[in-house]
Structure 1
Amino acid sequence: MRSGTLGILACAALVLAGCGRMGDSSWNPMRWFGSAPQTQTLEPEGGYPTTVNDGRVPLAHVTGARWEPLYEGRMLVVTGLAASKAWWDLALVTEVPMPKGRIRPDENGVLRLRLVGKPPQPDTFAAANPANPLADAATVALVIPNAVLPDLREVVISGASNSVSLRR
């Protein structure tokens, strides 16, 4: 029995010796979890972008903001008025760059947002005419999830010429 066990161990040692150095082998348990501990992060290389350069600029005026209750949190509804007619691709974006789909207030509990959009093409009827406050008001909404609400104290929405503050 012992000679059989010794024979099997000797064969295993010869097989492993033929594979190269034991330190380079995948059979080495010291290499199973990496050779050196490295900190892993989900942050993209070079960090998050500091500006979003997609052609959107702040709307001229933020005219109002209100909360609407939702099952999964609250919806922030913001109305604004652009400088001319036919603005499109309107959105509320955070002033501080954050990962897409994530929102969090700063250390003081203040969430700072900008009301932005894309202006109409230059040299068009829409670009040449000022917006009518009754017909051209724009409404944008942003859902604030329940997980963010305990830390949120105030929301500040800014446009090109003014800002509106809304307490929770």
Structure 2
Amino acid sequence: MTFFRPVMIAALACALTGCGHSKPAPDLSPKGGYPKTSSDWRTPVAHITALEVAPTTTGAIVTARGLPPTQGYWGTALIPENDGQPVDGVITYRFVLAKPPVGSPDSQRVGNPPSREVTAGAFINAIRFAQTKQVVVIGADGSRTAHR
């Protein structure tokens, strides 16, 4: 037992020497904070052709169809405004998509409207949907509204 006590003291001393004191890192952010920027680089769809809101047992599915000016658009999404919270009973989305590469064959191919049509969707949970009277989807040339 006499051997055990010095070994424990030595082990404890070694362990405690690794514990140092830390100080807070300096604040390197610019005065006034960082500028608020949108990280979404996509553009609004040129024209919204249809909007549907389909109730489900857990909320609702919002589906919007749009028409870009040429072929090759991709990465469609309905981006919620106000973090998807209804404002005065209205949930608003921006219908965005990514442009085809400049000079690519798709960016120059117009084709007929049905061949260019794109679709985007979003889900509204039951709690938010219960507070919603209408859904608005905004595109480049205007918006579409669906009433409950």
Report the TM-score when normalising by structure 2.
0.71
What is the deviation of 1:164? 0.4
Aligned counterpart, 1:17: none
> Once the two structures are superposed, what CA deviation does each residue of 1:5-51 show, in whole Å capped at 9, x if it has no partner?
xxxxxxxxxxxxxxxxxxxxxxxxxxxxxxxxxxxxxxxxx69x855
Contact 1:82 1:131 in 2 (8 A): no
- Given candidates 60, 64, 70, the residue that maps to 1:84 is 70
Report the TM-score when normalising by structure 1.
0.63
- Distance in 1, Cα, partners of 2:92 & 2:44: 13
Aligned counterpart, 1:60: 46
Aligned-pair identity (%)? 28
Indicate the SS of the match to 2:85: coil
Q: How many residues align?
A: 116
Matched, 1:95 2:81: yes
Matched, 1:158 2:144: no
- Distance in 2, Cα, partners of 1:54 & 1:67: 24
Matched, 1:69 2:60: no
Q: Quote the RMSD (CA, aligned, Å).
A: 1.9
Distance 1:131 1:61, change over 3 A: farther
- Distance in 2, Cα, partners of 1:140 & 1:61: 13
Aligned counterpart, 2:124: 144
Distance 1:142 1:125, change over 3 A: same
Bigger-Rg structure (1/2):
1
Residue identity matched to 1:105: P
> Once the two structures are superposed, what CA deviation does each residue of 1:143-162 show, in whole Å capped at 9, x if it has no partner?
11101012111111111112
- Given candidates 96, 101, 106, the residue that maps to 1:116 is 96
- Distance in 1, Cα, partners of 2:70 & 2:115: 12
Residue identity matched to 1:152: T
Contact 2:61 2:123 in 1 (8 A): yes
- Distance in 1, Cα, partners of 2:112 & 2:99: 15
Gapped regions of structure 1 (runs ≥ 5):
1-45
